[in-house]
Amino acid sequence: MELPEIEAALSNPDFQYRLKAISALKAYDPDTAVPILTATLTDPEFLVRSFVARGLGTQQTAASFAALLEMTKFDDTPNVRAEAANSLSLFGQVSISHLVSAFCQDDHWLVRRSILAALEELDCPAQTIEVCTEALAGDDVTVQEAAIDSLGALTGSSHHQAVLSQLLTLAQADSPRLRTRVAYALQKFDEPQAQSALLALRQDSDRQVVAASLENLFHQ
């Protein structure tokens, strides 16, 4: 699409045209695309704003970074905030502290799970542990499960022992769903304490926990 077509489509009341216009901007350089994208931050259709967030992640400038921060903090739709957080992570290490702050300030499960996944990709174990601890202190089980998975992914990192200690404590969690995730995570650790905890989980009262604790035996 040529720029006049994009500008016309962005004024169309049918949001499908606006989506196509946002998608077409990926063919343009940041100097051209970013001002148009940032002018569309308040589009009434959340799908359009999600496309804007995605576009800003690939058109990386100081202005697009600032716009994504604004969307992460202030957009009223969790899907958009999650997309903005994911795009923010594409800027690399500079995004980490902002993602941690967003996680602590936003308790929606979709946003938090998106940030957990993004931090795992950014290879920042200290900050990952920080948000995992925050997640486990909350009351959303889906986020807690994701946090346990993220902790398990830190095996072999400089925080290996701290993570193992946290997982061993979580092996006593009241929720069988959390114990199930712990059983999977502990299989990545070779320490005697981890193996002992897995043996205990094989005697768990919940069948899913038992199945998870036996998983590694089926793949040896």
Q: Please tell me the predicted confidence (pLDDT) of residue 46.
A: 97
Q: What is the pLDDT of residues 144-162, one digit of tens each?
A: 999 999 999 999 999 999 9
Neighbouring residues of 199: CB distance < 8 A, sequence distance ≥ 6: none
* CA torsion through residues 115, 141, 169, 153, sign: negative
Neighbouring residues of 131: CB distance < 8 A, sequence distance ≥ 6: 99, 100, 103, 104, 112, 115, 116, 119, 147, 150
pLDDT at 219 over 90: no
What is the band of 215 on the pLDDT scale with cuts at 50, 70, 90?
confident
What residue ranges define each of the domains in the chain, with the CATH number in brackets?
1-122 (1.25.10.10), 125-220 (1.25.10.10)
Q: Please tell me the predicted confidence (pLDDT) of residue 136.
A: 96
CA distance 191 to 198: 11
Rounded to a whole number of angstroms, the distance between the first and last alpha carbons of the chain is 54
Report how far apart, in Å, the C-alpha atoms of 3 and of each of 43, 49, 138, 217 are: 19, 19, 47, 59
pTM, entire model: 0.92
Which structure tokens are listed for 125?
A: 């174990």
